[in-house]
Each structure stands twice: as C-alpha cells, then as structure tokens.
Amino acid sequence: MDVKRIREDFPVLENSKGIVYFDNACMSLKPRQVIQAMLEYYERYTACVGRSNHRLGKIATEKYNEARKAIAKFVGAKKPEEIVFTRNTTEGINLVANSLDLKKGDIVLASDREHNSNLIPWQLLKERKGIEHRIVRSREDCTFDMEEFKKSMSRQVKLVTMVWTSNIDGYKLPVWEIIKTAHDFGALVLLDGAQAVPHSKTDVRRMDADFLAFSGHKMLGPTGTGILYGKYELLERLEPFMVGGDTVERTTYETHKFLNPPEKFEAGLQDYAGMIGLGEAARYLERIGMENIEKHEVMLNKLISERISQIPNLQMVGIQNPELRGGIISFNIRGMKYHDISLMLDHNHGILIRSGQHCCHSWFNARGIEGSARASLYLYNTQEEAELFAEAVQKIAKLGK
C-alpha cells in the first residue's frame, strides 16, 4: 500500500501541513475523488432524483442509483435494494428499533460496550413498550464473554444488537459466532458497523447479518450520510417510522400504499450529493483494498503500543493486545486529565486526537473510569507519524510524574 501516494489525495493534509491526524474513529478525512463527485452534482446536474424526468433529473437519478450499487457491492449485499440511505449509524439503528414489531416481554440483548446510539433506543423501548433490555458483561480482560452470551440466549430474545468493532479500544467482537448462536435461537441480529466497515472487509451475506448500520463520515465519505443494510425479506416486513414524500406509491385522503424497500424508508428529499460522494468513497476504499488497510492499521498500532507501553505511568484502556485493537489506542496517564493530554498533543506537537468517554459513558461509568485519550488510525497515517506520536506521549508523560 503506497501511503505516500494515498496522502496526495487528501486536501486537508496538504492545506494543514504539520498536523498529525489521529482522530479517525470520530471523523475520517475526505479524498479529492469524493469531493469532486459531490461538486460534480452541484455544478453539472443538480436536480431531484426519481421525480424530475428532464435531462438533469435523469443524470442525477443514474448517479444516485450507481452509488447505491457501489455500496451494495462494498458490503457484499445481494442487491442494491437492500441498501437504505440514512444520515448516520444512529439513524439506521433507530430505524430498526422503531420499525421492528417488538412487544412487551421481548428481549433485546446487547454487549456492555455499546455506543449510546445502540443503548438509548432500547432503553426508551423498555420504558415505552415494556421490552427487556439485557446486557452481556465482558470478561475481566475486557474480551467478549461468549459463554455468558450463550447462557443469556433464549427463545424470548428477539434481537441481538451489538457493536462489531468498539470505538472504546478498537476491539472486534466475535460477530460470526454471535450471529450463528443468535440465529440458532431464532433471534435477529443488528450490528453497529460504524468502526468496522471503514477498516475491514465486510461481507454481509457470508456473515449472515440481518441488519448492519454504518456511517459515511467515518469511511472517507461526506458528513450526514449513512447506510442501513437489511436482508430484503426483513426490510419488506418492517414498517417505516418516518414517512412522507417519496415513501408512497399513491395516496387518497383516507389511504396510502407504500413503495417497496428501500424507498419506503427514505422519506423526503435526500442528500443526493452526499450519497453520490459516499458511493465514490466505497469505490476508493475498494481500490486500495480493505485487507491492506486493516493490516496497515494493526502495524501502526503495534509500533505505537510497543513504544508507549514502556511508560511507567501510562495505562492502556480496554484491551491490552494491540493485535486485537485494530486502529485504536485508548490510554490514560496517571496524574493527568485526558483532556489535558489531548490539548498538549495538539498545541505542542500538532497531533490531533480525541479525549472523553467517546459516547460510551455506560462502559466508563461501570468501571469507574472518567474517560481516556484516544488515538485512532487510518490508511493515510504513516509510520513516521506513529513514531512522532509515541515520542510526544513520552514527553507528556514525564509531566505527570
């Protein structure tokens, strides 16, 4: 993988020379190809998709449909109609939560490391409908407890909804085994793929995932774009929870007839430029190769971990083995606030990371951890940047003694 060549595609790296961007779990940078695809829509064929039958409308519709096909191919969907355009992972999860026919007493099972987006919707359904929301606790070493998960399964579990790759520490849950076990009990599976799909090969058919939600802004795509993948027969059964223009085939003053998936879930005028840009992002990542990206991130993570793990007053948060952490390094330095670490890295070293509880307040609160400093890597990060980061953390750690 030619990282030097890849970096030339990212204007932010050219326009903000001297920075090291290690906040990719929050937001990825955007390549010129994605930006140009969006500009092309605004400059050459701005029009409504699927509504206007003039020449610009036809071009816009063609490009929009091509984007859906590109994303379907990227995740291994059977057909483009299994790809629902959303604004982000959060909307995809909420769509499933509000569209599944869950009833009082139905059990929804989740891990103990869920993002708030895959926690709060189920807490609300517990309050409003009386479903049961149960948590599978991790082992002492923070790995997934498969035995505890199997003990938690029953015919009353209607949905298993779990994060695929945790944004706390980059740990990947054993989703293939989770899916198989859930299906053995007749339960559906919804995966939060926000941190997984941008960084590793995804094949929803081989995994046999029922639903998969992920965000465009974490995979080189535009902000405000996301995807909900669903098996087509399941999408047909779901009732839309946001309705209006472009969701119906016809209406009278008393009746309506919904369109087929995915249109029945895509109410109102969509972010056409954004979705066209997201399609280009999927093509870009495919050209690089997801296996190459994952291998590159693990290599950088190991390099950083080997260097900073020698710091006496540094504590890694979550999983300790860098090979199990993908592209995320989450840590604290005794005697220092995580926000202070982030600020010093920025102001003194030009290294941009995130600090806080990373929208996983429940996990941190359960362990009595206030938060962490989190560095997250991607395909355009270099070995030199990894070394600079390790050196900077070593210097900062000396201040905390």
Q: Kindly state the average pLDDT of the residues 278-283.
A: 98
Alpha carbons within 13 A on the beta-carbon side of 244: 6
Q: How confident is the model at residue 399 (pLDDT cuts 50, 70, 90)?
A: confident
Instruction: Summarize pLDDT for 283-342 with one digit per residue, the tens.
Output: 999 999 999 999 999 999 999 999 999 999 999 999 999 889 889 999 999 999 999 999
The gap from C-alpha 183 to its chain's centroid, in whole angstroms, comes to: 23
The confidence score (pLDDT) of residue 241 equals 86
Q: CB–CB of 189/211 below 8 Å?
A: yes
**Structure confidence by residue, pLDDT tens digits, 119-143:** 999 999 999 999 999 999 999 999 9
pLDDT of residue 52: 86
Bridging pattern class, strands 107-111 and 132-136: parallel
Question: Which CATH number does 289-399 carry?
Answer: 3.90.1150.10
Q: What is the pLDDT of residue 104?
A: 97
Cis status, amide bond into 262, omega within 30 of 0: yes
pLDDT digits (tens, 9 = 90+) for 21-58: 999 999 999 999 999 999 999 999 999 998 888 999 99
Identified catalytic residue from 48, 142, 359, 360: 359
- The pTM of the full predicted model, rounded to 2 decimals, is 0.97
- Measured CA to CA, the distance from residue 70 to residue 29 in angstroms comes to 20
CA distance 122 to 108: 7
The verdict on whether 26 is a catalytic residue reads no
> What pLDDT score does 13 carry?
96
Residue 401 pLDDT greater than 70, yes or no: no
pLDDT tens digit string along 80-99? 999 999 999 999 999 999 99
| Cα gap 398→394, rounded to integer Å | 7
Q: Where are the domains of the chain?
A: 33-287, 289-399
Q: What is the 3-state secondary structure (H, E, C) of 18-62?
A: CCEECECCCCCCCCHHHHHHHHHHHHHCCCCCCCCCCHHHHHHHH
At 21, give phi and psi (nearest 5°).
-95, 105
pLDDT tens-place string over residues 352-378: 999 999 999 999 999 999 999 999 999
CATH label, 33-287, candidates 3.40.50.1820, 3.40.640.10, 3.40.1350.10, 3.40.50.720: 3.40.640.10
Angstrom CA distances, 132 to 123, 129, 204, 344, 374, stand at 9, 9, 27, 44, 33
Confidence of residue 174 (pLDDT cuts 50, 70, 90): very high
pLDDT, tens digit, 9 for 90 and up, residues 186-236: 999 999 999 999 999 999 999 999 999 999 999 999 999 999 999 999 999
